[in-house]
Amino acid sequence: MHQTLISSLISVYISCGCSNLASQLLKEIPCWDFDLISANVIIVAFMKIGESDIAKKVFDDMPIRDVVSWNSMIGGFVKNGRFEEALRVFQQMLSLNNEPDAFTFASLIKGCAQLGGRDHAQWIHALLIEKQIAINYILGSALIDMYSKCGRIETAKEIFETIQRNYVSVWNAMINGLAVHGLALDAIALFSRMVLEKVSPDCITFVGILTACSHCGLIELGRKYFDLMSSYAIQPQLEHYGAMVDLLGRAGHLDEAYAIVQEMSMEPNVVIWMAFLSACRTQKNSHMGEVAINKIETLKSGDYVLLSNIYCSANKWDSAERVRDTMKKNGVRKNSGKSWIEMAGVIHQFKAGDKSHLEREAIYKVLEGLIRRTKMEGFIPTKELVLMDVSDEEKEENLNYHSEKLALAYGILKSSPGTAIHITKNLRTCLDCHCWMKVVSKILYRVIVVRDRIRFHRFEGGVCTCGDYF
DNA sequence: GTAGGGTTAG
């Protein structure tokens, strides 16, 4: 069979979801002597379905490669969450004197954003400048996104100010960056500026604005911007409804959140019901929680945990037990959490149940302290994120305990920029401390234990904000 | 003919 035909066939099989046929076809070819473009097509196709090993094999066997081959490998690895391998390919590319281009960097920057590693980020950015690659709107958006996810919102802002801002995606990246940093008012201010500069917001802009409101509990503003969408002829999508349900639910307006779900012009999906379910848990409303859970057709492990948590909150231990039994019976496995940490340039990975952290107890203490403060100062708990990993046994002991604590800790970090007491140290000094770092929503925070003093550090633009909690 | 960016949730 002609090689071009084979590569097209593989591509078609994969786009139709018949990946088995594609792999089989590849195996049956006695000798891989694809021309350049056919091989590239095959690499892209297998990367698309997550078969990076097959793609790698094809790539390794190529007698000649061009920049598209390299970029397909690097981009493919990044898409499949294998950034280390993407970096390895990139280094190989450089060592063989192949020149990277804007496509190469776009993938690498995205990889850094996923990982939240600031040293890698800086290296890639420096290299981009060294190679004198013009920063177009795609690279600009990617850079802004990368720096905000690495905890360097100030650097993200600097980049934003220096690049061409006539594309909506650049604004979206910046608005979303501010939103995840808990800077909702800045995000809203940027929206106004965007309108002044005559760039039309799109549906993603509103997702950013609504999530910003949701993170900070700005109900009135959330409602206002949700209504504003229609004046830009943007129909609310599932994502916007989701943000509203999240916002209203967290603030305790369960009925209004439920009304939104019912008024939706499309069928609510699992994400919407999950947001609602999550709100039911926070509000300790097991009745509404059951309504939500009944709607969720395909239960994932997380949904069971949420329902069980609702019962725990309402002291309905029997019901909680029943849910957990069902879980076991159905053979539901909990998703094991994973997190990444960059320390002195090295990326460390942690898995749930990983008990190798000597300072785990101290971290708990910090979080408990944060909860006390949160309750005292009346902050609204925002998103629930896994700040650190605990074993399944510990989760079993008290399902509610862990997530509640993390939610509150996250809430205080996001909703109180004034909490940090003083700005003392720079990044380098902190790296010298005996410390423990965690990635919170891809923003770098550190919990530092020095002689029984527990500190929480947040990094932004190379400046470390420290706060004492004990 | 093949490669790149910006979203929520967990």
- Token look-up 């917001």 returns A201
* Cα dihedral A347, A351, A355, A360 sign: positive
Nucleotide nearest to A40 (CA to C1'): B2
pLDDT at A320: 63
Q: Which nucleotide is nearest to A68 (CA to C1')?
A: B3
**Structural contact between residues A71 and A101, judged by C-beta atoms closer than 8 angstroms:** yes
Q: What is the pLDDT of residues A451-463, one digit of tens each?
A: 333 344 444 333 3
A247-297 confidence digits (pLDDT tens): 898 788 899 999 999 888 888 887 788 788 878 877 778 788 877 777 765
Q: How far is the CA of A263 from the C1' of B7 (A)?
A: 22
Q: Which nucleotides of strand B lie within 7 A of protein CB?
A: 1-10
* Helix ranges, A131-228 (H): 137-149, 153-162, 168-180, 184-196, 203-216, 219-228
pLDDT in tens, A123-178: 999 999 999 999 999 999 999 999 888 777 888 999 999 999 999 999 999 999 88
Q: How far is the CA of A383 from the C1' of B8 (A)?
A: 11
- Three-state secondary structure call for residue A422: strand
The SS3 assignment for A247 reads helix
Residue of higher predicted confidence among A135 and A365: A135
A109, two tokens: 């920057």
> CA gyration radius for chain A?
24
Scan residues 49-108 of chain A and list those with Cβ within 7 Å of strand B.
66-69, 71-72, 75, 78-79, 101-103, 106-107
Residues A174 and A171: their CA atoms lie apart, in Å, by 5
Q: What single string gives the DSSP state of each residue in A424-450?
A: EEEHHHHHHS-EEEEEETTEEEEEEEE
Protein A180 CA to nucleic acid B9 C1', in Å? 13
**Rounded distance in angstroms from the CA atom of residue A110 to the C1' atom of nucleotide B5:** 8
What residues contact residue A34 under an 8 Å CB cut-off, 6+ apart? Answer: A3, A6, A7, A42, A58, A62
Q: What separation in angstroms does the CA of A277 have from each of A53, A254, A332?
A: 39, 10, 19
- The predicted structure's pLDDT at residue A327: 64
- pLDDT at A39 exceeding the cut of 50: yes
Q: Is the pLDDT of residue A373 over 70?
A: no
- Please check whether strand B approaches the CB of A208 to within 7 Å: yes
Would the Cβ of A169 be found within 7 angstroms of any atom in strand B?
yes
- A269: exposed, middle or buried (C-beta count within 10 Å: 0-12, 13-18, 19+)? middle
Q: Are A183 and A213 in contact (CB under 8 A)?
A: no
Beta strands, E only, A196-320: none
Distance A76 CA to B7 C1' (A): 21
**A81 contacts A58 by C-beta, under 8 angstroms:** no
Residue A4 CB lies within 7 Å of the nucleic strand B: yes
Mean pLDDT of A70-88: 92
Distance from CA(A63) to C1'(B6), angstroms, rounded: 36
Q: Which is more confident, A406 or A117?
A: A117
Please give the pLDDT value at position A403. Answer: 37
Whether pLDDT at A41 is above 50? yes
Which candidate, A165, A220, A159, places its Cα nearest to that of A188? A220
- Where residue A445 falls (left for φ over 0; alpha for ψ -120 to 50; beta otherwise) is beta
Q: Looking at the predicted structure, is the pLDDT value of residue A410 above 80? A: no
DSSP annotation of A197 = T
CA distances from A196 to A190, A191, A340, A378, A446 (A): 10, 9, 39, 36, 38
Q: In a 10 Å sphere around its CB, with 0-12 CB exposed, 13-18 middle and 19+ buried, how is residue A348 labelled? A: exposed
Of the candidates A295, A248, A289, the residue with the CA atom closest to the CA atom of residue A267? A295
Number of H helices, E strands in chain A: 24, 7
Provide mean pLDDT across the span A423-443: 27
Mean of pLDDT over chain A = 70
Nearest nt to A171, CA vs C1'? B6
pLDDT of A245 higher than 80? yes
Element (H, E) at A348: strand A346-351
Q: What is the DSSP letter of A417?
A: G
Cβ contact A7 with chain B strand, < 7 A: yes
The CA–C1' separation of A403 and B10, in angstroms, is: 11
Tokens of A435: 């410390």
Say if residue A345's pLDDT is above 50: no
Tens-digit pLDDT profile for residues A201-238: 999 999 999 988 887 778 899 999 999 999 999 999 98
3-state secondary structure of A341: strand
pLDDT of residue A341: 40
**What is the C-alpha to C-alpha distance for residues A79 and A50, in angstroms, rounded to an integer?**
8
Ranked by mean pLDDT, the top range of A14-23, A25-34, A146-155, A382-391 is A146-155
Which nucleotide lies at the shortest CA–C1' distance from A270?
B9
Mean pLDDT of A109-134: 87
Q: What is the pLDDT of residue A323?
A: 66
**pLDDT value for A350:** 39
Closest CA to A150 of A346, A341, A383, A407: A341
Rounded Cα distance between A18 and A410, Å, is: 42
| Helix residue ranges, H only, A29-101 | 36-48, 52-60, 67-79, 83-95
Give pLDDT, residue A266. Answer: 86
Neighbour count for residue A227 (Cβ, 10 Å) = 10
Helix (H, G, I), strand (E, B) or coil at A220: helix
pLDDT band (50, 70, 90) for residue A427: very low
Straight-line distance from CA A202 to C1' B6, in Å? 11
CA/C1' separation A118–B5 (Å) = 19
